[in-house]
Structure 1
Amino acid sequence: MGISEEQWQSPSRLPGWTRAHVATHLARNADAFTRVVSGLAEDRQVPMYDSRAERDQEIERGSERDGLALQIDLDTSAGRLHEAFDLLEALPPMTTVELAPGLEIDSGQLATARLAEVLLHHLDLDVGFSLSDICPDAAGWLLAWVCFRLRGRATIPAMRILSDTGLTDRIGGSGYAPTVRGSDAALAGWLSGRTGPEELRGVQNLAIPLLG
């Protein structure tokens, strides 16, 4: 499906962002992962972004481009990251990397982290892509990543997650944790703040903020 120039500059599902903002963020996120992986290959820990302010400025500037420039940027940045991910095979297992302050993962999770960015922001583009378009394996990886991000987060209501494929986790703050059940895709969509709870069981009056 093609996206017109008017559609690129129209609102996405993310508050305050057009589709061009989302596309630019995805491209710069690919470059940030490339930077992290390249640093690991040289036994250096480097941040994904020099600063939040610089990241935001790049997204704002990039959002002003036309559709062709956005598409070229998405394709070329993804290509660079694809090549960089080949470097991960030479790293010692369980090499730790800090993606953001307080967010540490091992190098084997980098591809999953990028996949989650692509899937969630593809939903945010609001161009016809839906949860039902996510293949079962990817939906499982996405749910595992979202749960990892929300584990122990005090701003999220305490709950136990039980997916139809058997994935279990406990997320949110302290206190009583009701069990929420559903498919991998429906759980991932709701827990990331992208979709409603209609296909889930045990949600009751739980509310989830948008996961950036």
Structure 2
Amino acid sequence: MHVIGAGGHSKVIVDILLESHIQINGVWDENPDLKVFMGYPVRGNFDAFKKVKTDKVIIAIGSNLIRKRISGEIPENTAVAIHPKSAISKYSSIGIGTVIMPNATINAGSIIGVYVIVNTNSSVDHDCNLGDFVHISPQAALGGNVTVGEGTHIGIGASVIQGIKIGKWATIGAGSVVIRDVPDYAVVVGNPGRIIKYNKLT
């Protein structure tokens, strides 16, 4: 497996791969001064990686926008990284490139898009639908039948009640409690959650 990215998020993914007994062939990062990462050689930047013929790659980058950009330049049939201590229903669906951290839970009927992050101790209840490039942060909890649009970030410890629809590229702040639908690009904070501004994608 090749790992793209050598930051904090990548440390967790490398650990998942090791716990899953998946061999790591090298790490790729834009920092030219970084030669070794967690005991594995940093073999070059992303442009150098694109010259390697392999379909065994995981994007280990936390930024949803950067993950989306890189995903268009790597093999389509990329890997998933699922920690063996996560709990995933066999009646759920997990898209390519997705990473699922330790103690995360995904319940029956949920559909997880491509290149999604379901982070440590987060909970995705039954029949949720997470769009591509979503990030569910540690300790966040989604009730049943929640829809989250492409690229949205649900912050640490946020709670979303059942049946809520959250638009694309929105941000739900840490600890927020979402009890109403959220439009595209909205930034929501507080309990109950309220919109304070809108994201501008560049």
Higher relative contact order (CA 8 A, sep 6+): 1
TM-score (normalizing by structure 1): 0.30
TM-score (normalizing by structure 2): 0.31
Whose radius of gyration is greater, 1 or 2? 1
Q: Which structure has greater helix proportion? A: 1
